[in-house]
Amino acid sequence: MNTNPFALRPNRRRRLPGDGSPRPAHWLSFVGAGALIAVGYIDPGNWATALGAGAGYGYRLLGVVLLASVMAMLLQWLSSRLGVVTGRDLAQVCRERSGRRGTLFLWLTSEIAIIACDVAEVVGSAVALQLLLGVSLTVGVLMSAVCTFALLALQQKGGRKLEAVIAALIGFVGLCFVVQLALARPNWHAALAGAAPSVELLRNAGMVWLAAGIVGATVMPHNLYLHSTLVKHHAPEGSDAQIKVALQVVNIDTFASLAFAFVINAALLIVAAAVFYASGYRDVTDLADAHRLIAPLVGTHWASILFAAALLACGLSATVTGTLAGQAVMEGFLQIRLPRWKRALLTRALAIGPALFAVALFGQHGSNQLLVASQVVLSLQLPLAVVPLIRYTSDEGLMRGWRVRGVPLALAWLSAAFIIVLNGALLWQLAFGG
């Protein structure tokens, strides 16, 4: 059973000019994986980390957003390259080249990351529903689960319908932030200065915590597994001509989609810095507080409406990424295939528990703390996906002439080193309270 919505259908092939190899009837059949991956980069977890970073430290952590986005582009490029060239996803390659214990360990940690991400989506969607409809957070959590199944039901009518809805949601989010930036009137000179990373990052416990959250929310480990799954059918015969064409179009799709995601993430932080930090509200870390304060600070009630609507659009669209990623790692590591509705039910059931617990115990502020903490969990798990990915994509025996080498390989290892150092600094701060 083929569960990949972007898999090419055997009966829809044409010949490449001057070549005997088939190609898809429509070039657009290559496009879509990047959009689904980008959805995961603008989920409610990003909102929580960007809000805390902008309100608490102004534009100073914008450089972390930029660096994390560049690393994400590089690592997702590696992931898609692995899938296209080998015809297998990262989870499958890990299973083939790891022992039973290693495979089970990687699968378990990947599932933890997916659940952490899904918690962020549940809580973020619940907060948005509360802000828009006035329901309690508990009801919002349950409503978000129902909305997830409604969105996934679109897949029964064809993958392109789901893609169109997700593209519309992402476009709506972008439009909302164009308006928010116009209303916030940020200091663009200060924002440009903040794009340069500062050594203060490793000395300030609060900045380290948020930076780890930004990295985890931006460079999402399960997205690395998912991307290779979504594109692995693009060169089914494995010929060099097919691989070359597929990589060209997949690369454009990847970089364009993630560049758009970076713009959204940067806009989140810039709006928070321009509205809250500049006005002296530097302890605004809660989405509900941001919604309440943004309208009077910018002078129009539309700001708060757009804020909540964009948050809901991000939360609902990101549910698809989590479900597909869960399916990819379960099939790749364990060779267990579940229908998407069952996979969605499993991840949502595991995510709703922590979300309801945080809401009941801490209220709105607890839910926001849970959002940031979930992204830190993603950051801590990230090296377990990044290091194998770099190893395998640089393996000549596996990748043949398409292996990664030279400057891209050096940059990939530098990215892995940065993530590990940042996580080490985070664990040091947590252990010694520095």
Is it the case that residue 163 has pLDDT exceeding 90? no
Q: How confident is the model at residue 388 (pLDDT cuts 50, 70, 90)?
A: very high
Q: How confident is the model at residue 217 (pLDDT cuts 50, 70, 90)?
A: low
* CA proximity to 367, closest of 281, 283, 286: 286
Tens digit of pLDDT for each residue in 281-307? 888 777 778 888 888 988 888 888 998
Q: Among 14-28, 196-210, 362-376, 399-413, whose mean pLDDT is lowest?
A: 14-28
Please give the pLDDT value at position 11: 35
Q: What is the CA radius of gyration of the chain?
A: 21
Q: Among 19-23, 187-191, 430-434, whose mean pLDDT is lowest?
A: 19-23
211 vs 152 pLDDT, higher one: 211
CA 228 from chain centre, in angstroms, equals: 14
For helices 62-86 and 406-432, the axis angle rounded to 10 degrees is 130
Work out the percent of the chain whose per-residue pLDDT is above 70.
Answer: 81
Please give the pLDDT value at position 85: 94
Distance CA(228)–CA(247), nearest Å, equals 12
Q: Among 6-20, 51-65, 200-214, 380-394, whose mean pLDDT is lowest?
A: 6-20
Please give the pLDDT value at position 30: 55
Mean pLDDT of the 389-398 span: 95
Please give the pLDDT value at position 131: 86
- Please report the DSSP string for 122-171 in residue order: HHHHHHHHHHHH---HHHHHHHHHHHHHHHHGGGGG-HHHHHHHHHHHHH
Distance CA(95)–CA(106), nearest Å, equals 9
How many C-beta atoms surround the C-beta of residue 111 within 10 A?
20
Please give the pLDDT value at position 344: 67
Tens digit of pLDDT for each residue in 112-147? 888 877 777 777 888 888 888 888 878 888 888 787
- This prediction has a pTM of 0.82
Q: What share of the chain is helix, strand, coil (3-state, %, to 5)?
A: 80, 0, 20
Mean pLDDT of the 180-206 span: 83
Domains of the chain: 27-432 (1.20.1740.10)
Please give the pLDDT value at position 355: 67
Tokens linked to 186:
């940020």
Residue 192: DSSP 8-state = H
* Strands (DSSP E) found in 314-378: none
Tokens linked to 180:
């928010």
